[in-house]
Amino acid sequence: MTDPIEVAPGIEVQDAFVDLKGASAGELQVIVDEKPDRSSAMPVPASETGDFWVAENDAGLFWGWNDGPVQPPADVDPYKKRYEVEHEELGTVERVHQLNHVVKKEQNSREPDSVLGVTYQAKYPKTIPTRVETVQAIVDRYVNGPLGTDEVAYWWYRNANSAGRGYDTDFEGYLDCDVVLYKDRIYTWKLKREQDVTDDDELYQP
């Protein structure tokens, strides 16, 4: 429980927070030095043979590629630009990067409730579909566990790292709390404070 989690080769989680009250309430924000790259999920397995490929890296992060423009929109980059993709059987093939929310939907259709969107905060934040088991491990070690800072709320991290900005004391009770994953109809899984759990919530069971 004290070993750092690696989300791609050479990229370790530095810290993790939960947006408890903001615009993306319930979402996990993972702090990394650099954004995990699609190449970590290559080569794409030989079992991916259709127009839409999905591949997972060793840490449970997913990306997708399309054989042709993706929708919407299909008429502008990067939705029609082709990139080199390594495939186990076909070698190097040019494909279009599929949208992450489409990848999430496809993976969850293959394995119900298996992934949720996680925002990886590097120079340019990026939401990447991530296995729920990986999310739970990050929560156990960095949010509820011994790694990372003691504060839980993402707004605290954001304000603490923005010069001249303080934090709202109305958020008392949200800085030092344990969080749990619960089933959500739209987002697959979301996070909330343990004390906010109700009898209607279906919690994730590892």
For position 77, what pLDDT does the model report?
Answer: 63
CA-to-CA separations, 47 to 35, 67, 87, 99, in angstroms, rounded: 27, 16, 10, 21
> Domain residues of the chain, as ranges?
6-37+114-196, 38-105
The pLDDT score that the predictor gives to residue 120 is 97
Q: Are 5 and 12 in contact (CB under 8 A)?
A: yes
Q: What's this model's pTM, rounded to 2 decimal places?
A: 0.92
pLDDT of residue 165: 57
Structure confidence at residue 204 (pLDDT): 97
What is the per-residue pLDDT for 166?
Answer: 57
- Quote the CA–CA distance of 200 and 125 in Å, as a whole number: 33
| pLDDT score of 85 | 98
What tokens were used for 137?
């491990």
Asked if 9 and 61 touch (Cβ cutoff 8 Å), the reply is no
Q: Residue 126, Cα to own-chain centre: how many angstroms?
A: 8
91 bridge partner residues: 87
- Based on the number of CB atoms within 10 Å of its own CB, is 35 exposed (0-12), middle (13-18) or buried (19 or more)? middle
Name the stretches of the chain with pLDDT < 50: none
What's the pLDDT score for residue 73?
Answer: 57
